[in-house]
Chains A and B, each alone.
Chain A
Amino acid sequence: MRLLKSLTIALALTGLVTTASAQTGPLRIEITEGVIEPLPFAAPDFQAEDSAASEFATNIARVVASDLAGTGLFREIPASAFISNVTNFASPIQYADWKAINAQALITGAVSTGANGKLNVKFRVFDVFSGAPLGEGLQFGGSTASWRRMAHKVADVVYSRITGESGYFDSRVVFVSESGPKNARRKRLAIMDYDGANVQYLTDSNDLVLAPRFSPTGDRVLYTSYESGFPRIYVLDVASVGRRVLDDQVGTMTFAPRFSPNGNTVVFSLESGGNTDLYRMDINGANRQRLTSSPSIETAPSFSPDSSQIVFESDRSGTQQLYVMPAGGGEAKRISFGPGRYGTPVWSPRGDLVAFTKQNAGRFHIGVMRTDGSEERLLTASFLDEGPTWSPNGRVIMFMRESQGANGAPALYSVDITGRNLRRVSTPGAASDPAWSPLQK
């Protein structure tokens, strides 16, 4: 088993010497409106300030451009169209040359290396049609090994300045990596950057593992494993890959865990005697509390971001539907009323929406609704779409799509909450059960 090395990155964010006062120009995308015409931008290779930096200067600009274009909100203008080029980070921008190729945003940067594998990245964003910088220049310091993270941080700043929303590129995804035939699938936990880079395995594939979930700080993962022969919830430390069982009660099955927003509490399903109900307990295993007592199936609980409520699924009405109840238990209110069955609800990190899996007329959908059940919208449809997880900014949903038949296999996809920009997420092989981390610190 390849162990995940502890990733220690000190990313320092410092302002460059101010060259122009920060301004809010007309360059702005409103994400909620469902962007049809992506905003054209240019991201010339960053300037290498020493010979060791040249590889990073090119690669960082490529990752920044890929992050932005991958949102569907932006479109990169290829370098072959450039009229002028940026040869010096400090030189004045020839706005007319960029305006002529309709680059509405321009990103320039410079990279230098230092002793002990240090890397420094500085960058600026320009609003070409206003002829002015968009915010101040910034720089990040880190190690050369973390160059992709630094690129993602640059892209997060650019995204944030243009959309007014926080970004999501400097984030990771924990998922289940699958191999083998459909009737003898082998599964192991894996973690990667949000864009599929830097895959590392957290467990071996000796035991079936399901549905990993990040802690609010991204340092721990809850998941279900058959390590004991029976499904049990485990807590895994991402840096050390050390793990421990959360609750080991013989004769019961525990699954579907999720952290509370402060990371101290776990809400989960416990099955005993064929009946599945919701429980919560402290992450250290103390204070187990039963939240539901019903002969129906209660599972897939998810906290609201303010910790006050839990959304979950139950078949108490006869079919799977979504309910919201107080986080300490109590009366639950049904929020799903459309045709079909609803499961795997996940509260958005912004608090405004619940994402879910819907089954209707032989098809599976990923959808969103407001937390009172209103304004339901289906974003996808296929033979099997399942298990949504939110980007840290609540604007994108990643999920699993499994193809049909004997050779069917799952893969990860993402879609934005307007239903646009459906994309397959790169993984080394078949993959399921994605969970998106918060933005890294």
Chain B
Amino acid sequence: MKHLTKAILLVSALAVTACTNPDRFDNAGAGGGAAGAGAIVPGSASDPASAAYFQQTVGDRVLFAVDQSSLSGEGIDVLTKQAAWLMENPLYTAIIEGHADEQGTREYNLALGARRASAVQNFLIERGVAPNRLKTVSYGKERPLEVCSDETCYAKNRRAVTVLAAGGATS
């Protein structure tokens, strides 16, 4: 919840930035660029610099096989796009949340979630994202996305989610 609040605040701040720097997205042409089909609403998913765009279009999560923390080909594709986006949008920092499904003990799943978050963090750093923009946290099996007790849900719960946050990078 805290992260979501921060993300919304950041989006608001960026919206202001977008107004005062009309050239930033090269959309300050006809009529101020806010009207008409295909217009970019700052902060919405149509704004390529928004957290919503990152979440919906770039893709904010990667999934893992049972008891694994290695990145899949699909995961590498998503993270490659995440890295590029983060490089283009340097005002954002991110917390990478690692998660596990419920098939496992609590402590082990915490450690497993940390491995997954770390795998994502390492990949993004290798692709050029400054290490001080990325933090990791593990929720183990504490925060399932899907609540059924079979593989259709488990597959979605074994995830690492890159959650954008406000604030400058820490040293």
Q: Which residues of A contact B (CB under 8 A)?
A: 181-185, 208, 210-211, 229-231, 251, 253, 255-256, 269, 271, 273-276, 297, 299-300, 313, 315, 320, 343-344, 357, 359, 383-384, 386-387, 402, 404-406, 408, 433
**Min C-beta distance of B68 to chain A, whole Å:** 12
- State the Cβ distance, A278 to closest chain B Cβ, in Å: 11
Residue numbers in A under 8 Å from B69 (CB-CB) = 274
**B103/A255 in contact, CB under 8 A:** no
What's the Cα separation between A384 and B137 when bound, in Å?
A: 25
Contact of B149 among A299, A320, A404 (CB under 8 A): A404
**How many Cβ-Cβ contacts under 8 Å join chain A to chain B?**
100
Are A231 and B137 closer than 8 Å at their CB atoms?
A: yes
Report A298 CB to chain B, min CB distance, Å: 8
Q: Which residue of A lies closest to B142 (CB)?
A: A208
Separation of A404 and B149 alpha carbons in the complex (Å): 6
Contact A344 to B107, CB < 8 A, known contacts A182-B147, A183-B143, A253-B138: yes
Is B148's CB within 8 Å of the partner chain A? yes
User: Complex formed: what's the CA distance from A1 to B107 in Å?
Assistant: 27
B119 interfacial contact with A, CB 8 Å:
yes
B143, A433: Cβ atoms closer than 8 Å = no
Residue A300 contacts which of B105, B137, B138 (CB distance < 8 angstroms)? Answer: B105
B114-A276 in contact (CB<8A):
yes
6 residue pairs from A and B, CB less than 8 Å apart: A183-B145, A253-B114, A271-B111, A276-B114, A313-B107, A406-B149
Q: Which residue of B lies closest to A211 (CB)?
A: B106
**CB closest residue in chain A, given B120:** A274
Chain A residue at minimal CB-CB distance from B148 = A406
**Cross-chain contact A269 with B107 (CB below 8 angstroms):** yes
Q: Which residues of the other chain, A, contact B121 by a CB distance below 8 angstroms?
A: 274
| B interface, size bucket | 20 to 34
Encoded as 1 (CB less than 8 Å from any A CB) or 0, chain B from 100 to 129 comes to 001111111011101101110110000000
CA distance A256 to B139 in the complex (A): 14
Which of A230, A269, A275 touches B137 (beta carbons < 8 Å)?
A: A230
Given A253-B137, A299-B107: A405 and B148 within 8 A (CB)? Answer: yes
Q: Which residues of B contact A406 (CB under 8 A)?
A: 147-149
- Please report the C-alpha to C-alpha distance between residue A182 and residue B147 in the assembled complex, in whole angstroms: 6
Within the complex, what minimum Cβ distance (angstroms) separates B133 from chain A?
13
Q: Contacts A387-B106, A404-B149 hold; do A183 and B114 have CB atoms under 8 A apart? A: no
| A271 neighbours in B (Cβ, 8 Å) | 110-111, 114, 138
Which chain B residues lie closer than 8 Å to A276 at the CB level? 110-111, 114
How far, in angstroms, from A406 to B138 measured CA to CA in the complex?
Answer: 22
- Interface membership of chain B positions 1-34, coded 1 if the CB is closer than 8 angstroms to chain A and 0 otherwise: 0100000000000000000000000000000000
Contact with B107, one of A185, A208, A255 (Cβ below 8 angstroms): A255
Q: In the complex, given contacts A210-B110, A255-B107, A274-B122, what are 5 additional A-B residue pairs having Cβ atoms less than 8 angstroms apart?
A: A271-B110, A276-B114, A297-B111, A344-B106, A405-B147
* A406–B137 alpha-carbon span in the complex (Å): 25
- The interface residues of chain A lying within 8 Å CB-to-CB of B115 are 274-275, 297
Interface residue B75 (Cβ < 8 Å from any Cβ of A): no
- Nearest residue, chain B, Cβ from A312: B107
Contacts of A359 in B (CB 8 A): 103-105
**Taking CB as reference atom, which chain A residue is nearest B114?**
A271
Q: Contact check, A274 vs B104: say whether CB atoms are below 8 A apart.
A: no
Q: Is B135 an interface residue (CB 8 A)?
A: yes
Verify if B144 is at the interface (C-beta below 8 Å from A): yes
Known: A183-B145, A384-B102, A405-B149. A343 touches B107 (CB 8 A): yes
> Which residues of A are found within 8 Å of B105, using beta-carbon distances?
300, 313, 320, 343-344, 357, 359, 386-387
Interface string of B26-61 (1 = CB under 8 A from A): 000000000000000000000000000000000000
